[in-house]
């Protein structure tokens, strides 16, 4: 029979896991479970040792036993046997004076329920299993956040795939600028997919219901965490790549606006290294630090913040550079407008307008919360930070696809031409009376 501590973890683990996911410490539920199970195994071993060293009574009696919950001594027929609540319970300090009871039948067998399950009164040990109103409210809020960013990432993924398909199919749209857009779309799409997959793996690992001790032993083994860790590494890489492709967009626009002679072919390879290569420089050391120093669960718990800053610093650096470039671009555009240079390429200004709507959206929320880390923020500020971070991060891919593809005049013109050609080739379908 599954012991009550494991039952407690099974009932509350989904709430804990989802609550912790949004605060970037999703292993908090895992730590509770792991410590509970380790204490349970120690309690079990001590019980077996105690039973082996105790002398056996004479006559009729109920056999000493460990029923997966508590350690029971030999019982006198017809008596109620009381023992202290097991010390492995997460709330043991609040009920260490309480008792759990079993009845020894007159026939020398423990009283059973339904002929197979032992009868046991452990109500005094289970008072703390009740979920408080505050915990319930927090869990509901986190579920709402989960729905928000799941919808956002799903919508972004669909729109980004559609935008990528358009840029790939139409040859007239193939140029360095759109190649950079396509890489940006890919980074956003990979980020969305990695977050969705990572969440699915986390909940598969911690959200399932366990009924056997062997299930928990398998769950807590290092082999079971490999898939979750791989997903965590891929997600961190995709997030960094996403940030640095936005930096590429900003750098490209800046050079386009201020460069007298701009050789696109010479720089595109550098952009590829910056967008896809730079994240490797930071993810590999972070992965090594987690493996050597914090090799626990899904590598999501940041016990030593120095390791987390290996990922955090390059993200903030990219955001700050984006904001600096934004200021410079604004200065260039304002100077051009003041000078009223009519010969200045109109497509450059349109491109600048589109990018200017994206760079602030990308960089500001990172800079605003630069010193308000997850571990430092509490209360309403933490919920505000989580909401804006999740909302902007999840829906940003959709906005990028709309502004850089679907709302682009060049793309719309090409789609319109293809639609007109299709109607001419299929007059029977389009011209029915």
Q: Is the model's pLDDT at 159 over the cut of 90?
A: yes
Query: How do residues 89-105 score in pLDDT, each as one tens digit?
Result: 877 777 778 889 999 99
Per-residue pLDDT at 390: 82
pLDDT band at 146 (very low <50, low <70, confident <90, very high): confident
Q: Is the model's pLDDT at 384 over the cut of 90?
A: no
Burial status of residue 260 (CB atoms within 10 A of its CB: 0-12, 13-18, 19 or more): exposed
With beta carbons less than 8 A apart as the criterion, state whether 397 and 156 touch: yes
Structure tokens given for 84: 């202290």
**Domain 22-129 falls in which CATH fold?**
Hormone receptor fold (4.10.1240)
pLDDT band at 286 (very low <50, low <70, confident <90, very high): very high
Indicate the angle between helix axes 264-272 and 176-206, nearest 10 degrees: 10
Q: Is the model's pLDDT at 19 over the cut of 70?
A: no
Highest mean pLDDT of the ranges 36-50, 122-136, 224-238, 361-375: 36-50
Per-residue pLDDT at 372: 58
**CA pseudo-torsion sign 21, 25, 30, 33:** negative
With beta carbons less than 8 A apart as the criterion, state whether 328 and 356 touch: no
- Say how many Å lie between the first and final Cα of the chain, rounded: 73
Q: Is the model's pLDDT at 137 over the cut of 70?
A: no
Least confident of 57-61, 109-113, 275-279, 332-336: 332-336
Per-residue pLDDT at 408: 79
Per-residue pLDDT at 9: 42
Per-residue pLDDT at 15: 46
Q: Is the model's pLDDT at 160 over the cut of 90?
A: yes
Q: What is the DSSP string of 365-424?
A: HHHHTSS--TTT--HHHHHHHHHHHHHHHHHHHHHHHIIIIIT-HHHHHHHHHHHHHHHH
Structure tokens given for 325: 């470039």
Listed residue (229, 230, 239) closest to 294, CA to CA: 229
Per-residue pLDDT at 251: 87
Question: Can you identify the CATH homologous superfamily of domain 133-425?
Answer: Rhodopsin 7-helix transmembrane proteins (1.20.1070.10)
Query: Any idea what the Cα angle at residue 361 is, between residues 355 and 363, rounded to 5°?
Result: 95
Q: Is the model's pLDDT at 424 over the cut of 90?
A: no
Q: Is the model's pLDDT at 231 over the cut of 80?
A: yes
Q: Which of the two residues, 284 and 39, has the higher pLDDT score?
A: 284
Q: Classify residue 222 by its DSSP letter.
A: G
Per-residue pLDDT at 340: 58
The stretch 14-39 carries a mean pLDDT of 54
Q: Is the model's pLDDT at 38 over the cut of 80?
A: no
**% of the chain with per-residue pLDDT over 90:** 17
Ranges in the chain annotated CATH 4.10.1240.10:
22-129
Listed residue (252, 165, 153) closest to 193, CA to CA: 153
Per-residue pLDDT at 154: 92
Per-residue pLDDT at 278: 94
Per-residue pLDDT at 71: 92
How many contiguous H segments (helices) and E segments (strands) does the chain have?
A: 14, 6
Least confident of 138-147, 291-300, 418-427: 418-427
Q: Is the model's pLDDT at 17 over the cut of 70?
A: no
Q: Is the model's pLDDT at 130 over the cut of 60?
A: no
Strands 99-103 and 112-113, how do they pair? unpaired
Per-residue pLDDT at 197: 84
pLDDT band at 216 (very low <50, low <70, confident <90, very high): low
Ranges in the chain annotated CATH 1.20.1070.10:
133-425
**Integer Cα distance of 383 and 248 in angstroms:** 31
H or E element at residue 113: strand 112-113
Q: CB-hemisphere CA count at 13 Å for 293?
A: 15
Mean pLDDT of the chain: 76
The stretch 262-276 carries a mean pLDDT of 77
pLDDT band at 364 (very low <50, low <70, confident <90, very high): low
Phi, psi of 261 (to 5 degrees): -125, 120
């Amino acid at each position: 029979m599954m012991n009550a501590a494991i039952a407690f973890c099974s009932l509350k683990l989904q709430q804990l896991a989802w609550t912790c996911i949004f605060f970037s410490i999703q292993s908090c539920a895992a730590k509770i479970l792991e410590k509970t199970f380790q204490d349970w195994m120690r309690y079990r071993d001590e019980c077996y040792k105690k039973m082996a060293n105790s002398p056996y009574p004479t006559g009729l009696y109920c056999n000493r036993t460990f029923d997966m919950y508590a350690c029971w001594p030999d019982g006198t027929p017809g008596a109620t046997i009381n023992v202290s609540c097991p010390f492995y319970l997460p709330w043991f300090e609040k009920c260490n004076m309480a008792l759990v009871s079993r009845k020894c039948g007159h026939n020398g067998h423990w009283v059973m329920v339904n002929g197979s399950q032992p009868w046991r009164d452990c109500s005094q040990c289970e008072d703390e299993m009740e979920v408080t109103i505050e915990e319930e409210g927090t869990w509901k809020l986190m579920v709402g956040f989960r729905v928000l960013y799941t919808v956002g990432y799903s919508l972004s993924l669909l729109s980004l795939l559609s935008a990528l398909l358009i840029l790939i199919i139409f040859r007239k749209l193939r140029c360095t600028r759109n190649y950079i857009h396509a890489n940006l779309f890919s980074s956003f799409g990979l980020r969305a997919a990695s977050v969705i997959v990572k969440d699915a793996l986390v909940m598969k690992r911690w959200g399932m219901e366990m009924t056997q001790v062997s299930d928990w032993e398998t769950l807590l083994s290092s082999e079971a965490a490999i898939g979750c860790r791989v997903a965590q590494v891929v997600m961190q890489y995709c997030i960094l790549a996403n940030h640095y492709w936005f930096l590429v967009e900003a750098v490209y626009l800046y050079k386009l606006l201020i460069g007298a002679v701009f050789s696109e072919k010479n720089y595109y390879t550098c952009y590829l290294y910056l967008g896809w290569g730079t994240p490797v420089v930071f993810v590999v050391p972070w992965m090594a630090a987690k493996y050597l120093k914090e090799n626990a669960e899904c590598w999501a718990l940041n016990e030593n913040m120095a390791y987390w800053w290996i990922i955090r610093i390059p993200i903030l650096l990219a955001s700050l550079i984006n904001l600096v470039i934004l200021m410079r671009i604004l200065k260039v555009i304002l100077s051009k407008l003041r000078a009223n240079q009519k010969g200045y390429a109109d497509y450059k200004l349109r491109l600048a307008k589109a990018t200017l709507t994206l760079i602030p959206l990308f960089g500001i929320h990172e800079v605003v919360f630069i010193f308000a880390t997850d571990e430092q923020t509490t209360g309403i500020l933490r919920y505000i930070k989580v909401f804006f971070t999740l909302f902007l991060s999840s829906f940003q891919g959709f906005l990028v696809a709309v502004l850089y593809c679907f709302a682009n005049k060049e793309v719309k013109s090409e789609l319109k031409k293809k639609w007109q050609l299709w109607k001419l080739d299929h007059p029977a379908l389009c011209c029915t009376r």
